[in-house]
Chains A and B, each alone.
Chain A
Amino acid sequence: MTIPEFLTYIVIFLAVYVQVFLLFTYFEHFKEIKALKREPLPDLVNPPKVAIIVPCWNEEKTVHGTIASILALDYPADRLEVIAVDDGSTDNTWQELLKYENHDRVRIFHKENGGKHTAINFGIDNTDADIIGGLDADSFVAPDALRRMIGVFQAHPKTMAVTPSLIVDEPKNLLQFAQRAEYNMSTYNKKMLSLLGAIHVTPGPFSLFRKETFQQVGKFRKAHNTEDQELAYRMQEHHLPIEHCVNAYVYTRSPNTVKKLYVQRLRWIYGFIQNTIDYRRLVFKKEYMNFSFFTLPSGIISIIAVVYLSLVFAYDAVLFIVKKITQYSIAGFHHGGTIHLHFDWFYINTQTVSLLTIFLYALLIFSIVAGTRLNKQGNGLNWHIIAYILIYSVIAPFWLLKAVWNTIARRGQPAWR
């Protein structure tokens, strides 16, 4: 066995281990997960006061929709307020917000531009609500989402943050349908991490926090443009539980071009790497258990696996191209080679690595199907899975490689958009 072959086995072994771990968790909590699908809307006793902060930076076109979706939430009106913070917009966002100047449930603020996390912190400083959350201007909340998430807080008094399930809103092109499959898979992954007590990100769109969270660990910090991830790391460090509420749906607009997706994912992956480096003291520490022994290592393994396998693939592709060029230069168009027009099972690749790769893809497809069902997006078996596998197999290595390269080369953090 050559060194590259040995490394390939190691990478595949770790990748299979991660997926089997998630699958094991799924079946370990199967009854609980199955019951979630029929979970009734919770009756809230003494509903806590909730503040949803809407950080706005040049959101003149979407801010009304965002605020309207919050005001339409199924929640006692006197216990819910919207705090819209204009973060130094250069368009008419502030003029649009002024329309809510006299609204009894919406408070508006204007501040100099300082980044999204400063706008949210500004909102946190200006509310006395028990539960505080944020909602990006590109996302919309299902009417029952807040009630369900508050239900989780009330059922689990020690829970300090609750995250929703994100669904791609109205996908229009192939790329967005692929992202819908990916987001559905994320719901599966996040629920499993939630069951493991090991969530590593509280997404910007509608993650809710008890106000004590900020008192205990501080507010949002500037953190490689992934402040929502850094806060989750900090909460894990302080043993503040984070739960995922599967039935709370938030619809978010997804990038509609490869370039926009690339920029977004580069920011996410770079942020993950940097935050993990910043919090490397949490890795393999028994006191942080699953977050320390599973979440962080599995994220690192995923990046290493994709980077390594894509490099191997690129190397093979270069060899193939060189071979074809050599063939044409020697033999012209009579390059020969045996072309098997008939099917012969003999040539099906049945090497151990290939079989394990098939197994890995099967687990991946299972996670998408299970996530799709959790998101109530159908039975899960649809062409979005194929779109996801084909598109992401090609483009994901690029942002992963770039994020790794930026880390190695100590480049600056990627732009927001």
Chain B
Amino acid sequence: MTGATPAQLEPTPSPSSAPSSSGGSNETDRAPRHFLGVTGSQGGELRDLLRLSDRFGEVNRRPIPKVPALRGKTVVNMFFEDSTRTRLSFDTAARRLSADVVTFSAATSSLNKGESLRDTVETVESLGADAVVVRHSSSGVPWQIASWVKRTSVINAGDGWHEHPTQALLDCYTIARSSPVLAERFGPDSDAFDFEGLKVGIVGDISHSRVARSNVAAMTALGASVTLVGPPTLLPSCLDGWPVEVSNDLDGLIGDLDVCYLLRLQRERTTEALLPTLREYRALYGLSAKRADRLKDGAIVMHPGPANLGVEIDADVTRRPCSVISAQVTNGVSVRMAVLYYFLGSGVDLVN
């Protein structure tokens, strides 16, 4: 991650340093704007995107959920790591904005012939992509790609253990729209997006989770108090500078939470034995039906999916009214439409 840009919603590089010759305001000679991470973002920028998501939520409820906003733009999905919901969600979002979607699959590409990542990206850019949506198992790849491209916007759809900014946005959006606590405070359709005093517990495999990292940044920027809960082996070795509290005791905490956010136990990213057994993990940190009974009224249960049912969450709990897991998926499309529109459709910076 480049430490040079604290707020990654800003255009990089700045338009004045862009290699453009003409002085006109034509969109083609403007530097592309990237959405790489939410760490360091200000609440105001996130709220702009969340309010825009509301507008697209309305579009998605129409009989014909499609607008011509990004007609003629090409969005390339570059997924170097497996994904179902994020890829389908970005795909749907781009199509509902009338953009053309090209899906690049690493498994069937010339990467197998030894083509480098840089060559692949430059090829995609030369084909006229206006945005690339990148998922990669190595942290930092979207930043690297952003430093190579000249006119294509880079959207991070998850890099290694590092960031998953659109997931964080859709989670914050879902909290704002689903939490009875916030609905009572601000009204059901408020665009305040103010999480002051909201208690969020993020439970599970924190150290391997890009979802946790991005969510901590986004939720605390909006004012929430976040507690990370998990066994010591699954918490990051260093939490200096994280605006969070840490706990190893889910049972002691569960009655206080407004939001119980369960992470997937990432068995594919865990190379060493960090847990004695899955049964022990479930007994201490899984949201079993019995444990979910102790959630207070108005608390909501979230999971980024795909869930290991019977490990971090019981199937029974996912079907309770307090579970907003399917709302997360639905909202994902609206939020990604907002992100694509914000980064591809704007002539100058968002004004309010």
A binds B: no
B residues neighboring A (CB under 8 Å): none
